[in-house]
Amino acid sequence: MRIIGLAGWSGSGKTTLLTKVIPAMTARGLKVSTLKHAHHAFDVDQPGKDSHTHRLSGATEVLISSERRFALMHELRGAPELGLGALLRKLTPVDLVIIEGYKSEPHPKLEVHRAVVGKPLIHPGDPAIVAIAADGRLPEATVPVVDLDDVETIVDILLRHAAPMSLVEVE
């Protein structure tokens, strides 16, 4: 399994880019999974549903399954947040895992940058950034810059720089 990340400030378009990149990769015959970091409390469960009631009643894990999908929710119950490496090891093996967030981790990353967000580039301070997908020219960039709408070139960059999970020190 190989991994590559998307890094960028909130509002830069990481998720929007993923909705274009994933279909382009699956069209090439690749199996792709994603791992996203949330910076706040989140809930994928709905109040009133049995699984939500089970979790609120104190279950450590609740697995809900149907003929189309299954979802496993695990409550940390005060335990520390799992590191990136531990989370990656929980995934079913695929060709590529695209990590959204975890921008301070050392895995290779494509920076997503939009000038309107008003934030500085991340890449000067992160040697793991291999290229930047941007909505304009970035003459100060010291890594390759590709147009944010050039999905095929972005896919090529992601595939070329993805690292085997076993070679990337993530915890």
How far, in Å, CA of 163 to CA of 133, rounded? Answer: 19
74, part of any domain: no
Q: Which residue type, as a one-letter code, is found at position 47?
A: P
How far, in Å, CA of 90 to CA of 103, rounded? Answer: 20
pLDDT at 50: 78
What is the pLDDT of the chain when averaged over all its residues? Answer: 90
Please give, one letter per residue, the 3-state secondary structure of the chain.
CEEEEEECCCCCCHHHHHHHHHHHHHHCCCCEEEEECCCCCCCCCCCCCHHHHHHHCCCCEEEEECCCCEEEEECCCCCCCCCHHHHHHHCCCCCEEEEECCCCCCCCEEEEECHHHCCCCCHHHCCCEEEEEECCCCCCCCCCEEECCCHHHHHHHHHHHCEEHHHCCCC
| Domain range enclosing 92 | 2-40+80-167
151, part of any domain: yes
Least confident among 60-74, 90-104, 150-164 = 60-74
pLDDT class for 166, splitting at 50, 70, 90?
confident
68, part of any domain: no
Q: Which residue type, as a one-letter code, is found at position 85?
A: G
How far, in Å, CA of 112 to CA of 6, rounded? Answer: 7
50, part of any domain: no
Per-residue pLDDT averaged across 13-40, rounded? 92
36, part of any domain: yes
136, part of any domain: yes
Domain count, the chain: 1
CATH code, domain carrying 14? 3.40.50.300
60, part of any domain: no
Q: What's the predicted TM-score (pTM) here?
A: 0.88
Tokens 């997908």 map to which residue? 133
65, part of any domain: no
pLDDT class for 170, splitting at 50, 70, 90?
low
Per-residue pLDDT averaged across 37-61, rounded? 77
Q: Report the chain's terminal Cα–Cα distance, integer Å.
A: 16
How far, in Å, CA of 148 to CA of 144, rounded? Answer: 12
How far, in Å, CA of 139 to CA of 11, rounded? Answer: 22
Give CA 99 to chain center in angstroms.
2
